[in-house]
Amino acid sequence: MNEAVLAGLLAAGTPAADVTATVRRPERAEELRSRYPGLTVLAEQEDPEANSKAVAGASVAVLGVKPVGIAALCRSISPALARETIVVSVAAAVTIAAMEAALPAGQPLVRTMPNTPLKVGRGAVGLAGGSSTTDAQLEMAAAVFAGAGTVVVVPEDQLDAVAAVSGSGPAYAFYLAEAMAAAGVELGLDAGLAMTLARETVAGAGLMLAQEGADPAALRKAVTSPNGTTERAIAAFDDAGLPAIIAAGARAAEARAAELSRELS
């Protein structure tokens, strides 16, 4: 995820020389330096102060550790942060209040909910600003992700819903592809062929949806001939309550995100 953000930032025109990244292992640092010439990469195993050195003088500091470690990271880098540095968290479930409590008072903070299609430049990212974050600072944070996907600004209390739709959403699409492939095998197709057909169909449909102004309902109707095979399949989905099943899954994801926020905050 973090490399996807980095790649998108560089693809959007940010010079590699203006970016410093930190990783744990020297081997990973060398890998990134080779992949992105001009990028400064510090390894914590070589320099325990790597994170503090990276944020010193930065306009934006992106924190990409696991949720359980985000508060400790905020505290460790706090002495090195400039007052105007915008801290951006990609850690799921950890609230703005919890992070602000671990940062210097008044530090600009943006909490985000990205998803894995950032890796292929088709991500969706929800942003919510902290109590001291200005609109201009929120726009600067959004620019970090804009090169790798679509960015939306929402109130923090809607980030769990964003997570339920787009954060977890790629897994729903992958699950659909799995189910389609399994159905093909049940109908007599070779397993490899069924997976190829399912994978390429879901990927191709996704590209059609990615076109500006695309309407999923209109696209569905365009391939659903009256009394045809697709219409029969959609009717079977409706009879099985598929829309309600998807809604139930999204509600479960949102509820779990809220639980994690309470546990981590």
Give residue-wise pLDDT tens across range 202-259: 999 999 999 989 999 999 999 999 999 999 999 999 999 999 999 999 999 999 999 9
168's tokens: 């977890």
Q: Is the dihedral of CA 200, 205, 208, 212 positive or negative?
A: negative
pLDDT at 1: 86
Of the candidates 123, 63, 59, 52, the one whose C-alpha atom is nearest the C-alpha of residue 88 is: 63
Domains along the sequence of the chain with CATH: 2-157 (3.40.50.720), 169-260 (1.10.3730.10)
pLDDT at 119: 86
Q: Is the dihedral of CA 185, 188, 191, 197 positive or negative?
A: negative
* Alpha-carbon span 111 to 94, nearest angstrom: 8
Give residue-wise pLDDT tens across range 163-192: 999 999 999 999 999 999 999 999 999 999
**Would residue 241 be called left, alpha or beta, if left means φ above 0 and alpha means ψ between -120 and 50 degrees?**
left
Extract long-range pairs of 194-197: CB within 8 Å, 24+ residues apart: none
Q: How many CB atoms lie within 10 A of CB 53?
A: 15
- C-alpha dist (Å) from residue 188 to 84, 231, 232: 62, 22, 20
* DSSP assignment string, 137-165: HHHHHHHHHHTTEEEEE--GGGHHHHIII
Give residue-wise pLDDT tens across range 83-138: 999 999 999 899 999 999 999 999 999 999 999 999 888 999 999 999 999 999 99
Give residue-wise pLDDT tens across range 43-85: 999 999 999 999 999 999 999 999 999 999 999 999 999 999 9
Q: Is 39 helix (H, G, I), strand (E, B) or coil?
A: coil
Are the CB atoms for 10 and 32 separated by under 8 Å? no
Are the CB atoms for 91 and 70 separated by under 8 Å? yes
Are the CB atoms for 92 and 67 separated by under 8 Å? yes
Give residue-wise pLDDT tens across range 79-94: 999 999 999 999 989 9
With pLDDT > 90 as the criterion, what percentage of the chain qualifies? 91
Give residue-wise pLDDT tens across range 32-47: 999 999 999 999 999 9
With pLDDT > 70 as the criterion, what percentage of the chain qualifies? 100
Q: Is residue 149 very low, low, confident or very high in pLDDT (cuts 50, 70, 90)?
A: very high
Of the candidates 12, 35, 50, 243, the one whose C-alpha atom is nearest the C-alpha of residue 143 is: 12
pLDDT at 12: 84
Q: How many CA atoms does the CB half-sphere of 53 hold within 13 Å? A: 14
Q: Is 84 helix (H, G, I), strand (E, B) or coil?
A: coil
pLDDT at 97: 96
Q: Is residue 265 very low, low, confident or very high in pLDDT (cuts 50, 70, 90)?
A: confident
Are the CB atoms for 96 and 113 separated by under 8 Å? no
* Alpha-carbon span 226 to 238, nearest angstrom: 16
pLDDT above 90 for 11: no
* Alpha-carbon span 87 to 71, nearest angstrom: 12
